[in-house]
Structures are given as structure tokens and as C-alpha cells.
Amino acid sequence: MKTLHVDLGTRSYPIHIGTGLLDDSELIRPHIQGQEVMVVTNETIAPLYLERTLALLDGYDVATVILPDGEQYKTLDTLNLVFDALLEKHFTRRCTLIALGGGVIGDITGYAAASYQRGVNFIQIPTTLLAQVDSSVGGKTGVNHALGKNMIGAFHQPQCVIADTETLNTLDDRQLSAGLAEIIKYGLINDADFFEWLEQNMPSLLSRDPDALAYAIERSCHDKAEIVAADERESGVRALLNLGHTFGHAIETGTGYGNWLHGEAVGCGMWMAAELSHQHGWFTQTELDRTRDIIEKAKLPIQPPTSMNSDQFLDIMAVDKKNLEKKIRLILMKGIGKSFISDDFDNTLLKELLEKNIAQAKQE
Ligand code: NAD
Ligand code: GLY
């Protein structure tokens, strides 16, 4: 097992990464406050991992909530099901919520913990690659709105993150690739050495080589923890973690939540951010080719959905948490590992880029 730390003063916490951690009650019990524990999971994950999770909680007053599965259920209505259960059980401020699942469960549970009785403790047990490398770390919680992805939420850090890499054995290949998108993101943002490692090791990751996966998860969590420690509430550098996300969120919102996976949308978004950077002369042709190559090698789509047009993209991109004073802000790159936040790009180039990519997608 490897343990990393997110250094946030009194809100610091460990991230445990390894195999068989779901059977180690000593990892979780020190982080449970009080006697009341609510495990939040979904109908897909419950039959796989709920029993083992409950076995860790012997002696506590434990309740479970099993939510419907899917990004389309990351809503205020679903969140309310968690509040219903907490209130029906008369759970108090000293309760602890446990998120057992992927990013959807983690984000909903985290937001429930942030707001139930103005804030209770929670623990992340991420079970997808995406959640193990990204969403379980850093304390962003929330739900979607029909008009914008993740628009309702709060910063609320977990007490600990327990990433049992064996849970990835039951994940399907499409979900594995979605997680790889966020891993590639760290290389592009500020870790060129990791990007090179990924170029060499993508086949091992796709074939689920345990050592390769463990290394990629650790390095991703390390990179993310550093950025979160530097800027917990995203007043600066943390925005870089949104590389590809402004395009990606537009795809998820524009095609209807759940049709494109979050990681797929981010993969396509990173490609468009790379192309826009290239068009401004900031990103070389070689860097662009390497970016396309690694996204494709991870079996992620490059082309945007044909059901959307450029105006729809731009409309939705105008509703983004990074935007200030009605200007779209994007994460762009001046090289692999050299990302920056910009509202100083050519809007005409952006529109043309969207139109070109959508037209190309329609031809194929
Ligand atoms: P997800 O939570 O929908 O999980 C993907 C699918 O895999 C679901 O059907 C789920 O039931 C299933 N699943 C989960 N674990 C499994 C396992 N071990 N075996 C088999 N099936 C399993 O999707 P995700 O990709 O984990 O997360 C995406 C969400 O995370 C998005 O809503 C995104 O906005 C959010 N996100 C949040 C942050 C953050 O910082 N909070 C960062 C990145 C993404
Ligand atoms: N996934 C973006 C962030 O955590 O800031």
C-alpha cells in the first residue's frame, strides 16, 4: 500500500492506494466520527462491494442508501434521497457518510456531507479509475443542473480516501479509458515526464497491468494533491485541472448527461484545447500529434458529437465556473506539461475550430 497526503492544514487527509484495502478496517475506522455511518452507493456497485464495506463497519450504527446508477441521476432529486435517509434514521451532526463508487457517487455523497446539518464528515472509497485518480481527491462536490454541469456544489474535503485498485477488475473497458483521460490530463498540465511515461506504458495500462495502474494512480494523485494543496478553492492554479473540461462539459450537457462519459468528453476537449493552442502558435505540430496519438491510444474519441453545432457549444461554454465577466476562459498549452489559463485567445479561431471538428466528425 502507498499512502499520499493532501496537505491542507487542519483539513489534511491521507489517500491510501493499494490492493485488498477494502478488507482492512484499520484504514477506515480512525476516520469515522461518532457511531452513525451512512454508506452511499448505487445499484451496480452494491452487489459488488457493499457487503465487504459493511464488514469494515462492525459495531457502528450503519445505514445504506442505494441510488440509481448514472450521470443523469447526479441531480438535486437524487441528493434528496440521501437527505431523506439521513433524516429518517435521525442521523445527527456526528454522523459519517461513506461514498462507495465512482465520481457520481463521490460527488453526490460529498455534497450531501457538505450540506447535511451544515456539514458532516465523509470518506471516499472510489471504485472507478477516474474516481481513484481525480474525483475522490480535492474536495469538489456537487450535482449537475440541466443548464450546466456541476453547477451546484461545495468544497468539502473527505477525512480520507481509500482506493482499492482491485475494484478496477470489475470495471468495463470503456470506463477504464474514461479514467485514462484524466490521467493523461496530468501529463499535459504540468508533468511532461509522466506524459512520456504514459506514451510508453499505455498498452500496459489498457491491459490492466497492476503495477502500471498502481504507478499511474499514485502519480496522478500526487500531482493533483500538490495542486489542491496550493489552491484548495481554485482562485488560481487549480483551474489547470480543468484542461479539456470546458469543451467536455459542453459535450456532456449538450448531448444529455450520461451519453458521453465524463472522461470521453474530457479526452475530446483536451484534443480541441491542444488544437486551439497550436493554432495560436503555442503548441508545435509534434506536440499536437503526440497529444492526438495518446488520446487515441487510450481508446478515447477525438471527434465531437455530430448532434451539436458550434453555437450550442459556445452557449454552453459561456456557462462555466472558470468564466469571469462573461468571458470564456480556457486552459490552453504552451507545450506538453506547460498549461496556462487564458481568456486571451482568438474567438474566431475557437468557432472555426469547433465547426471544423464537427464537420470532420460528420464526414466519418
Ligand atoms: P460513474 O461514477 O458514473 O461510474 C462509472 C460507471 O461505473 C457507473 O455505471 C458505476 O456504477 C460503475 N462502476 C463504478 N465502480 C465500478 C466497479 N468497480 N466495477 C464495475 N462498475 C463500476 O463515473 P466516473 O467516471 O467514476 O465519474 C464521473 C463523474 O465524476 C462525473 O460526474 C464528473 O463530473 C465527476 N468528476 C468529479 C471530479 C471532482 O473533482 N469532484 C473530478 C472529475 C470528475
Ligand atoms: N477535477 C477538477 C478539480 O478537482 O479541480
Pairing of strands 96-101, 61-67: unpaired
CATH number reported for the structural domain that contains residue 352 in this entry: 1.20.1090.10
90 and 44 in a single domain? The answer is: yes
Cβ-based burial of 243 (10 A; exposed 0-12, middle 13-18, buried ≥19)? buried
Q: Which residue among 124, 155, 170 closes a domain? A: 170
158 and 194 in a single domain? The answer is: no
131 and 251 in a single domain? The answer is: no
Q: Which residue among 170, 198, 230 closes a domain? A: 170
Amino acid letter for position 143: V
Q: Which residue among 106, 140, 170 closes a domain? A: 170
Give yes or no for residue 242 CB within 6 A of ligand 1: no
What pLDDT is stored for residue 325 in this prediction? 67
For ligand 2, the distance from its centroid to the CA atom of residue 140, given in whole angstroms, is 7
Q: b/e per residue, 41-59, with b = 16+ CB within 10 A?
A: bbebbbeebbeebbebbee
What pLDDT is stored for residue 71 in this prediction? 96
What pLDDT is stored for residue 43 in this prediction? 98
**Which run of H or of E encompasses 40?**
strand 36-42
198 and 155 in a single domain? The answer is: no
What pLDDT is stored for residue 256 in this prediction? 95
Residue 55 to residues 23, 50, 51, Cα–Cα distance (Å)? 8, 9, 6
117 and 11 in a single domain? The answer is: yes
Provide the residue range defining the domain that includes 248: 173-363
54 and 100 in a single domain? The answer is: yes
204 and 124 in a single domain? The answer is: no
Cα–Cα distance, 298 to 275 (Å, whole number): 18
210 and 242 in a single domain? The answer is: yes
203 and 347 in a single domain? The answer is: yes
28 and 81 in a single domain? The answer is: yes
| Residues carrying an active site annotation | 118, 140, 182, 224, 234, 238, 242, 245, 249, 262
CATH number reported for the structural domain that contains residue 58 in this entry: 3.40.50.1970
193 and 336 in a single domain? The answer is: yes
Cα–Cα distance, 309 to 224 (Å, whole number): 33
Give yes or no for residue 175 CB within 6 A of ligand 1: yes
Distance from CA of residue 290 to its chain's centroid?
23
For ligand 2, the distance from its centroid to the CA atom of residue 9, given in whole angstroms, is 19
Give yes or no for residue 150 CB within 6 A of ligand 1: yes
What pLDDT is stored for residue 253 in this prediction? 94
Residue 53 to residues 28, 66, 127, Cα–Cα distance (Å)? 10, 13, 12
Mean pLDDT by 10 residues, the chain (364 residues): 97 97 97 97 98 98 98 98 98 98 98 98 98 98 93 97 98 98 98 98 97 97 98 96 96 96 98 98 98 98 97 90 80 98 94 97 92
Give yes or no for residue 42 CB within 6 A of ligand 1: yes
Indicate which residue's Cα is closest to atom 3 of ligand 2: 241
Give yes or no for residue 138 CB within 6 A of ligand 2: yes
With H, G, I as helix, E, B as strand and everything else as coil, classify residue 125: strand
Query: Which atom belonging to ligand 2 lies closest to the Cα atom of 241?
Result: 2
182 and 239 in a single domain? The answer is: yes
Question: How many domains are there within the chain?
Answer: 2
For ligand 1, the distance from its centroid to the CA atom of residue 101, given in whole angstroms, is 7
